[in-house]
Amino acid sequence: MRRLLLLILLAPLLGACGGGPTAKALGPRSHQIDVANPQLVAFKKHTGVPDCPRVGSSAVHGGMPAVTLPCLGGGRPVDVAGLRGPMIVNFWASWCGECRKEMAALAVYAVHQPRLKVLGIDFQDQQPGAALQLARDSGVRYPLVADPTGSLDKASPLPHIPGLPLTVFLDAEGSITHVEAGAMLTEDDVATAARRYLGVSG
């Protein structure tokens, strides 16, 4: 009965996950995407996605740009310039097929490696309901923020984001040590990257 109620609440929010956002979807109306409406807030309580982290407001040289993003499904907003590592920052979207595989690998790794933090950024995604559903189905236990309008694209020092998934590695001071384009498809792939770019092993 509870599952049926959730499906009814999310029915208007869940869309097809195949393909990417259309030009129209990324146009002037994109700012109207509400990633924390009451239905999403209610649904998030039935996922394992935690609250978004508290961060400082100071930017660091070579770190993430000073862009504040809303927490997906409600919660405190996050100024990504305040993120500190060791951390994996993963750009993904519900419409991205490779992101689905990578999210499952990241979810397993995050559980087995608590010394390394993970933050997901739902990027240029017009279906926040589908995004939260994917996170729940993938067993995500790390916080998620949303960037439906793509404000982080080309936001220095980040490069242009031509496609998803894309992963940024941050050291303890918050500096970017590496930007990885493409999917890490297994837990071993994630562990290898964490060891190579952040010195995190085990």
CATH number reported for the structural domain that contains residue 122 in this entry: 3.40.30.10
Q: What pLDDT digit, counting tens, does each position of 131-152 carry?
A: 999 999 999 999 999 999 999 9
Identify the residue whose tokens are 């394992």.
48
What are the structure tokens assigned to 72, written together? 């997906």
**3-class state of residue 63 by DSSP:** strand
CA atoms 154, 159, 161, 167: torsion sign: negative
> Residue 135 domain-assigned?
yes
Identify the residue whose tokens are 């239905």.
39
Band of pLDDT at residue 30, cut at 50, 70 and 90:
very low
What are the structure tokens assigned to 35, written together? 């990633």
Contact 127, 148 (CB under 8 A): no
> Residue 8 domain-assigned?
no
> Residue 1 domain-assigned?
no
Check whether 27 has a pLDDT greater than 80.
Answer: no
Count of residues in the chain: 202
> Residue 74 domain-assigned?
yes
Range of the domain at 123: 36-198
> Residue 46 domain-assigned?
yes
Check whether 10 has a pLDDT greater than 50.
Answer: no
So what's the pLDDT on residue 202? Answer: 66
Alpha carbon 172 to its chain centroid, in Å, reads 19
H or E element that contains 117: strand 117-123
The closest of 159, 199, 201 to 180, measured between CA atoms, is: 159
**3-class state of residue 96 by DSSP:** coil
Average the pLDDT over 96-109 and give the result. Answer: 97
As for how many domains the chain has, the answer is 1
So what's the pLDDT on residue 65? Answer: 95
> Residue 62 domain-assigned?
yes
Residue 82, sorted as left (phi over 0), alpha (psi -120 to 50) or beta, turns out to be: alpha
> Residue 60 domain-assigned?
yes
> Residue 189 domain-assigned?
yes
Report d(CA 198, CA 202) in Å as an integer. 12
pTM, two decimals, is: 0.84
